[in-house]
Amino acid sequence: MTTSMAEQQEIYNQQGFLSALPVLNDTELKEARRAFSELEKELGEDYTQYSLHNVHIQYPWVKGLTKHPQILKVVKAILGADVILLDSRFICKYPTVKPDIQGNNEGEPKTELPYVAWHQDMRYWGIAGGPVLSVWLALDDSVQENGALQVIPGSHLAGMLPHRQATRSGNMLSVNQEIPDELVQAGEAMLCPLLAGQMSIHDGLLVHASEPNRSQRRRCGFVIRYIPTCAYPIQDPDRPRKFAATELVCGTDQFNHFSNTTK
């Protein structure tokens, strides 16, 4: 049974996320994966793991993903007709141990496997006046074995939670923060597996995380943040951010809260 957009909006409002939404067709997915593999060859996996930040400014094919009609259709249904692209980043978890030519697992796995601690995106975004919506667009299948997204349904309704410095090494978050274990209802966690070409979306206050990639398969995704034009940056010393890549992707901007926003 097909879920209507109105039903999806209601689920999103209650749960704080939607998952397994179709975006890229086979041709689009093949081209995106090909283009990303060129970046891996040029820049190396250590860089492409987390350092491809706001490259939609540089690469037309990446900008095309941020404006994909299937993505914007859902984003507009949640945020309204007037939407700004706030930020983007590729996040890749590479295999722990790669097979050799014969397919055997050789070598020792990394001692500090990259993972993402329980957190809320809004803890890192100095934004007020409106929500932040995060898209995770899968370039690879994202499943439990290679570290798929986990969420705590409904946790966005509790507001901002305290964060601290992570006690476990390997946290991919650039500021190395986490929500203390005692504040996370980990028993209610839900895995959000995706097929390559699908996306999940979540509210900026939703508590979420992901475990290390313990498989032989890469897990690469493109994260895109959107806000309604009514949202604005704030001066918060705990959340210092510079928004250098904002762009109006839908509707009109009557507020002009971001001086460098392109149209």
Look at residues 129, 32, 115, 120 and name the one whose alpha carbon lies nearest to residue 71. 32
Cα of first residue to Cα of last residue in the chain, in angstroms, is 38
Q: What is the mean pLDDT of residues 154-167?
A: 93
- Cα dist. 108→45, 95, 145, 175 in Å? 18, 12, 18, 28
Secondary structure of residue 199 in the 3-state scheme: strand
Residue range 191-211, pLDDT digits in tens = 999 999 999 999 999 999 999
**Residue 174: pLDDT band by 50, 70, 90 thresholds?**
confident
Q: What is the mean pLDDT of residues 51-57?
A: 96
Predicted pLDDT at 99: 52
Q: What is the spatial distance between Cα 59 and Cα 35, in angstroms, rounded to a whole number?
A: 10
Predicted pLDDT at 199: 98
**Residue 176: pLDDT band by 50, 70, 90 thresholds?**
confident
Q: Which secondary structure element, helix H or strand E, spans residue 35, and what is its range?
A: helix 26-43
Q: What is the spatial distance between Cα 129 and Cα 210, in angstroms, rounded to a whole number?
A: 28
Domain ranges of the chain: 5-100+107-250
pLDDT at 142 over 80: yes
Query: pTM of the full predicted structure?
Result: 0.91
pLDDT at 80 over 80: yes
Look at residues 89, 189, 179, 165 and name the one whose alpha carbon lies nearest to residue 134. 89
Mean residue pLDDT of the chain comes to: 91
| Lowest mean pLDDT across 53-62, 96-105, 185-194 | 96-105
Class of domain 5-100+107-250: mainly beta
Q: What is the mean pLDDT of residues 50-73?
A: 97
**Residue 98: pLDDT band by 50, 70, 90 thresholds?**
low
Predicted pLDDT at 125: 87
Q: Give every CB contact of residue 202 below 8 A, 6+ residues apart in sequence.
A: 16, 17, 18, 121, 133, 134, 136, 151, 156, 208
**201, 73 in Cβ contact below 8 A?**
no
pLDDT at 238 over 90: no
Q: What is the mean pLDDT of residues 203-227?
A: 96
Predicted pLDDT at 1: 47
